Amino acid sequence: MVLEKPFFNTRVKSANVNPKEIILGYLLGPLGALLTSGIFSAMLNTYFTDVLFIGEMADDKVSESVSRFLTLLPLLSIILVVTGNLVVGQLLERTRTMQGKARPWILLSAFTLSAASVLMFITPFQNPIGKMIWLSISYNLFYAVAYPVYITANSTMVAVSTRNVKQRGLLASANNISALAVMGAGTMVFPVIVSMFLGNSRSLWFAAVLSIAVFAALACFLQYFFTRERVTEETLKSGIEKEKTPMLKQIKAVTSDRTWWVIIIFWLLVQVAGTIQNVSMWYFSNWVVASINGDGGLTMAVLSICGAIPMAAAVVIVWPLSNKFGKKNMTVIGLIIGAIGGVLAGLFAGSIVHVAVGIALQCFGASPACYLILAMLADELDHLEAKNGFRCDGLTMSIYSLIAAVSMGAAMTVLNGMLGATGYDASLSKAADGVQSIEVKSAITVGYIWIRTGAFALGAVILLFFNVEKNLKEEHKIILERQKSEALSQGIEWIEPAERLRLEQEEADRIAEQARKQELKSKENVIKKNK
C-alpha cells in the first residue's frame, strides 16, 4: 500500500503532544484547510445574490425564480449532505492503516477540498438556467463530498490523538482557534477585499478563491505530516484483532446514550444559529446598523474585529479555567454572558456602538463552547468506548461535520427565505439610506442577532445535563483493562499504551542522536580532509 512507504509516516515521534504538533498540525494546518469554508460561511450567499445572480435579482421577470432557487438549493441539498457525511464517517471507521484512520483522508482532502472550492466560481454559463444547474452540481460536490471528507477527519483527530484529557483540551482549543480564525478571515478581511477590489466581478472572485484553494491544499499536507493518532495505534500496534463494528450497532450505541444526545443537540443549536449570524452579517452591516462612512464592508470588518478580539483574549483563560472548573461549567457560564450581549445588540440594532459592545460580549461568551466542543466530544467518545467496548469516532464525527455542513444550508435557506418574503433588492445602492423596507431590516436583525441570542439561552439549559467529565478516570481504567484482557485472550504480550509510546520515543530519540553524531563525524572528516 502506498501509505505504508516511509515518506508518508508522521513527522511526530513523541509519546506526548508537543508544541510543534499543536502549532503545525492543529493550528496552522486546519487554519489553511478551512479558509475557503470560513469565507463561504460569511460571503458565499453574498456572491450568489450580489455577483452571480445580480442581474437576475434586479429583473422582475426572473428575480422570484432565482430567489426561490437560492432558498431551495441548500434545503434540498441536505439529503445529499446527510448521505455524504454518513458515508464518509463509515469509510473513516473502516480505514485501518499504520498512518491512522483519519490522517489518510486529510491527505486526500489536499486535492478534493481545493478542487471543489474552485468549481462554484467557474460557472461557464451566462443564462439563469445554466447557472442554476452548474451551481446545483458544484455546491453539492463541495458540501456533500469534499467538505465532509475533510471536516470529519479533522474533527476526529482530537479524539484519536491522545487519551490525556489536559493535552486533548489543548488540542481542541488549538483546532477551534483555527476554525475561528478562518471565520474572522471571512468576516473581517474578505469583506474589505470585496469592497475594495473584487466588487461584482466574477473573474476577480474566481482568482481570489483559486489562490485560497491552492493555499488550502498545502495546509492539508502540513496537517497530515504533523499529526499522530496515538489512540488508533493502541489497537494496531498491540496486535489485537478487532472486528469491524456494524453501523447499526454503532447507531444503537450512540442513540441509546443520553449524554450523546445532549452534546449533539447542543452543538446543532449553537452551530446553526452562529452560521445564520455569519450569513446575515453582510446584509446587517449594509442595511440595518449605521454604516461607517457608508461602507458596509468596513462596517462588517469593524463588527468582526469587535467579536474577534474578546474571543482571541478568551483563549488565554478558557483552557486553564476549564481544567479547574470543568469544560461544561465554563461553557454554560459563557453562554449566559453571550445571551446578555445579544439582548444588548438586539435592543439597539441601529447603533454601531451598542451593537459592537453586544457582539463583543456575545463572542466572548461563545468562546468556551467553540474552544472546548471537540474536547467534550472526545470525552463522550471515551465514555461510549468504556460503556460498549468499541469506539464510534467515525459515526459521531460524521454527524459533527454534518452539523457544520447542514448549518450552512439551513442558514442560507432561512435568510434567503426571509429576504425573499420581505422583498430584498440586491441592486439598490448600499449607500442610500432607508431604501430597503422596514420588513427587510427586521428580518436581517432577527437573523444576525436574535436567533443566536435565543440559541445561547437554550443551549445553556441543555448543557446542564452533560455529566461525562466526572467519570472519565474510571472509564479510562475500564478501557485499559478490556484491552489487556483481549490481548491476553489472543496470546499477545500486553504492553500498556503509555509504556509503548515511551519506548517508541526513546527509540526515536536514539536514532536522532545517532544521526546527529554521524553528521558531526562527517563534518569533522570534511574539515580534516580540507586541511
Calpha distance 31→1 (Å, rounded): 29
Asked, for residue 530, whether it belongs to a domain, the answer is: no
Asked, for residue 74, whether it belongs to a domain, the answer is: yes
Which 3-state string (H, E, C) describes 269-295?
HHHHHHHHHHHHHHHHHHHCCCCECCE
Asked, for residue 524, whether it belongs to a domain, the answer is: no
Torsion angle of the four alpha carbons 378, 384, 385, 390, in this order, in degrees rounded to the nearest 10: -120
The total number of structural domains that make up the chain: 1
Dig out the grid coordinates for 275 from the structure. Answer: 452560521
Element (H, E) at 339: helix 327-347
Among 33, 269, 1, 42, which Cα is nearest to 149's? 33
Among 189, 57, 205, which Cα is nearest to 120's? 205
Asked, for residue 513, whether it belongs to a domain, the answer is: no
Range of the domain at 350: 19-233+244-483
Write down the pLDDT at residue 1. 61
Write down the pLDDT at residue 261. 95
Calpha distance 71→414 (Å, rounded): 8
Dig out the grid coordinates for 309 from the structure. Answer: 478580539
Asked, for residue 378, whether it belongs to a domain, the answer is: yes
**Which residues does residue 295 pair with via DSSP β-bridges, in sequence order?**
292
Residue 444 vs residues 193, 420, 477: alpha-carbon distances, Å:
23, 11, 51
Residue 174's contacts (CB-CB under 8 Å, 6 or more residues apart) are: 22, 23, 26, 27
Asked, for residue 8, whether it belongs to a domain, the answer is: no
Which residue ranges of the chain lie beneath pLDDT 50? 430-433
Asked, for residue 510, whether it belongs to a domain, the answer is: no
| Model confidence pLDDT, tens digit, residues 416-466 | 888 877 777 766 654 444 567 788 788 888 889 999 999 999 999 999 999
Supply the CATH number for residue 300's domain: 1.20.1250.20
Residue 326 vs residues 68, 375, 463: alpha-carbon distances, Å:
46, 11, 12
Write down the pLDDT at residue 431. 42
